[in-house]
Amino acid sequence: MPTIKRYIPLVLAGLVSACLQLPEIDTSPPVTPTQPDAGAVDTPDSGTPVTDLSVTITAPTGTFYTSGSVAISVDVRGGAPELVQLFKNTEELATLSSPYTYNWNTAATPEGSYTLTARATKSGRTFTSTPVTVIVDRTNLQVASRSPAPGSTNVAYSTPIQVVFSKPVKAATISDTTVSFAVAGVLAEKTFSLSSDGRTLTIAPKAKPPLPATFSIGLSSGITDSAGNALVVPTTPWSFELPHWHSFGGPLNAVGGNTLLKDTAIALDGQDNPVVAWSEELTAGGRASIYVYHWDGNAFTPVGSALNGTSNGSAYKPALVLDSSGNPIVAWQESDGFNENIYIRRWTGTTWQSVGAGAISAVNDTGSSPVATPARNPSLAVRGNNLYVAWDEMNVEGFSAIYVWKSVNGGAFTSAGASGGRVHAVGGFTSATKPSLVLDSNSQPIVAFQEQTLEEHYPTNIYVMRLQQDGSWVYAVPPAQGDPSNPPVVSGGLSASPGGDTWARDCSLTIDAQNNLYLAWTEESYIDGPKDIQVFRSTGPQAWERNGSPLSAYDGYSTPTGQARIQSTPAGKLFVTWTEFDGIAETGYVHLFASYWDNKSWNSINKEDGMNQNQVSSAQPALALDSIGRPVIVWHEGRNAGGSGTGEYAYVKHYNE
């Protein structure tokens, strides 16, 4: 019985143990993170709750560039940490003590990008900062490119002055002390603009200086990159020349080898690139063709092949316009061996296509006893799908009239107005020649020309006539009333000295957006006076007034002007160009000049000896205005002093502003 009593407590203990579940005990070692995560917190296994710590790298901030040492500061708030560590990527860089600063000398650290984080530990919990990027860069700053290129001699004023660096620069190091700008060797005020990526610096004068001039830019080693690496200053000085007139390329011809050219024409495309045309011999001393070239931004390239309307004739006097697609249309005069006619071609983008049926002539010269009735001096105007052409043509009696015809969508030409498109200002046997054609805002043609004031070879005046909606041609300058049989009464027209014996010739007509008309021509300013350029403008229906004084670059009777060309901006700003003999018998040079009207007076935009330096003989200028109102001019240079008929090269320039 005593034995049984001993076993009862053991049985009860076993029953009690069978009803209890004891927790498992983890005997593995604690895990230590190898990559601290921003804001990561380790939860303690036991103990009193711990207040969260805030850990921030206060210096440097953002992305920091360095080529040397980095001063690092860490801010810990919310309590006293037991441990503060600094990590470079996953590698511990340092253990920090209050006030938690560290100077990291990167001299032995390879160049590259590094992520810095700070980690604070308290009561077994860790708190990690937001990372900061440090880029170690010890490579010197270099100049990758400069524009305009050092030593350039034909720089347009509109060309940006820019230096591109090999890497971003520190904006604070760009200043008047580290970048110099001089004009003709004299320091000038300038402005700076640094691109958003910090690599491109643009320098601009605060005010446009007089041209021609040499610009010089100086860069110093005080310019650094973001890491403080100094600029390696280029050994080649940075200077370039801006001429008074900027050239589109150099001398221009199509054939070369002593072939002569003449009769230049110009139009501008939608990007202000010039399209030019001229007449040039196919071989030296041989027949001539029309050539059309287009500036592609870097050089002039031919538009198709040479143009002729006949198999053996020579083509002269091209007129040039661009259609609504920017394709050139060119007209010219050419002889078929018996008679001269007008020919017109349109560029389709791939080939030249005839406009109309071919040769254009208003006078029938194919009778049993044909008489040559040459058609000459074409002028073109285009608006939308409507193309107008004007020319002068002689009749069988030997007197010439102006004709204006129209083509729609490249189709056959029909006369503009009654009488076969014939425009004649003076009654009787007088000759009208050299038309200049424009279109008003209603696409109606207006034509200016020279015509004798009376029969029997009286002097010529300039006449302007417009086509009415009813098909009639009316005077834009009314004819004077009087008896034509009693000279010197003249029948209207424009003249520098009305009623006198001066000859008004070679007119050029332009129109602005408000339908105001402007005329320029050559005429003696008074009887037996010098030939000057006369400029008039319309002041209402059938009313005109002089625009300033006559234009002439030289004083004296022996310096005649000629070949005036006028153009207006849509707002009415006027530009005129002309040729003028310098009056020096030993040289006999003909120079090219240009002026603009500022609503008060004429202002020259060329040097004393003209716009082209070292000229021999400048002739036959053609004028266009670009989208910002700059004049663009093409002309040819003659090979002989005093000559004005032909030249060896054409030149294309725009006013440098």
| Confidence check: pLDDT of 29 > 70 | no
Helix (H, G, I), strand (E, B) or coil at 430: coil
- Say what the pLDDT of residue 585 is: 65
pLDDT of 393 higher than 90: yes
- 486 pLDDT band, cuts 50/70/90, is very low
Among residues of the chain, what percentage have pLDDT more than 70? Answer: 86
User: Where are the alpha helices (H) located in 37-167, listed in sequence order?
Assistant: none
Q: Which residue has the higher pLDDT, 6 or 132?
A: 132
For residue 71, what pLDDT is reported? 97
Is the Cβ–Cβ distance between 215 and 613 less than 8 Å? Answer: no
Mean pLDDT (the chain) is 87
Residue type, 305: S
Q: Report pLDDT for 556.
A: 73
pLDDT over 90 at 105, yes or no: yes
Mean pLDDT value across residues 307-315:
96
> pLDDT per residue over 207-224, tens digit each?
999 999 999 999 999 999
Closest CA to 86 of 53, 57, 122, 54: 57
Residue 34 reports pLDDT greater than 80:
no
Contact call for residues 199 and 167 (beta carbons, < 8 A): yes
pLDDT band at 287 (very low <50, low <70, confident <90, very high): very high
Q: What is the mean pLDDT of residues 42-56?
A: 66
**pLDDT above 90 for 615:** no
Question: What's the pTM value of the predicted model, to 2 decimals?
Answer: 0.82
Q: Over the stretch 235-249, which tens digit does the pLDDT of each residue have?
A: 999 999 999 999 999
Do the beta carbons of residue 593 and residue 577 sit within 8 Å? yes
pLDDT for the residue numbered 618: 82
Q: Per-residue pLDDT for 485 more than 90?
A: no
pLDDT digits (tens, 9 = 90+) for 144-187: 999 999 999 999 999 999 999 999 999 999 999 999 999 999 99
Q: Cβ contacts of residue 285 below 8 Å, gap of 6+?
A: none
Please tell me the least confidently modeled range out of 21-25, 150-154, 185-189, 331-335: 21-25
Burial of 573 (0-12, 13-18, 19+ CB in 10 A): middle
Which 3 state secondary structure label does DSSP give 245? strand
Confidence of residue 489 (pLDDT cuts 50, 70, 90): very low
Query: What does the pLDDT read at residue 498?
Result: 65
Residue (of 111, 130, 127, 107) closest to 119 by Cα position: 127
Phi and psi, residue 493, nearest 5°: 90, 175
Give the mean model confidence (pLDDT) for residues 463-481.
81
User: For the residues of 341-353, what is the DSSP string, one character each?
Assistant: EEEEEEE-SSSEE
pLDDT the model gives residue 484: 44
Dig out the tokens for 553 from the structure: 């670059």
Where are the extended beta strands (E) located within 167-209? 179-183, 186-187, 190-194, 200-205
Report the distance separating Cα 437 and Cα 423, nearest Å: 12
What type of residue is 52? D
Average pLDDT on 548-573 reads 90
Written out in words, the top-level CATH class of the domain with range 143-243 is mainly beta
Residue of 496 and 22 predicted with greater confidence = 496
The enclosing H or E element of 13 equals: helix 2-18
Domain ranges of the chain: 54-136, 143-243
CA-to-CA distance for 572 and 511, rounded, in angstroms? 8
Structure tokens at 516: 């105001």
pLDDT higher than threshold 80 for residue 7 = no
DSSP string of 485-527, one letter each residue: TSTT---S-B-SSTTSS---EEEEEEE-TT--EEEEEEEESST
Output 501 or 594, whichever has higher pLDDT. Answer: 594
Confidence of residue 352 (pLDDT cuts 50, 70, 90): very high
Beta carbons of 617 and 644 less than 8 angstroms apart: yes
Arithmetic mean of pLDDT, 382-397: 95
Confidence category of residue 28, pLDDT binned at 50, 70, 90: very low
- What the block records as the tokens of 220 is 């110093």
The answer to whether the 54-136 and 143-243 domains have the same CATH topology is: yes
**CB of 88 within 8 A of CB of 115?**
yes
Q: How confident is the model at residue 606 (pLDDT cuts 50, 70, 90)?
A: confident
| Section 32-51 average pLDDT | 48
CATH fold, domain 54-136, is: Immunoglobulin-like (2.60.40)
Radius of gyration of the chain (CA): 42
pLDDT digits (tens, 9 = 90+) for 500-537: 688 999 999 999 999 999 999 999 988 888 899 999 99
618 and 579 Cβ atoms separated by less than 8 Å: yes
3-state SS class at 173: helix
Residue type at 496 in one-letter notation: A
Backbone angles phi, psi at 108, to 5 degrees: -95, 5
DSSP type of residue 171: G
pLDDT at 459: 87
> Is it the case that residue 254 has pLDDT exceeding 90?
yes
42 in helix, strand or coil? coil
Give 586's pLDDT tier (boundaries 50, 70, 90): low
**Pairwise CA distance, residues 533 & 523, whole Å:** 7
pLDDT computed for residue 613 by the predictor: 62
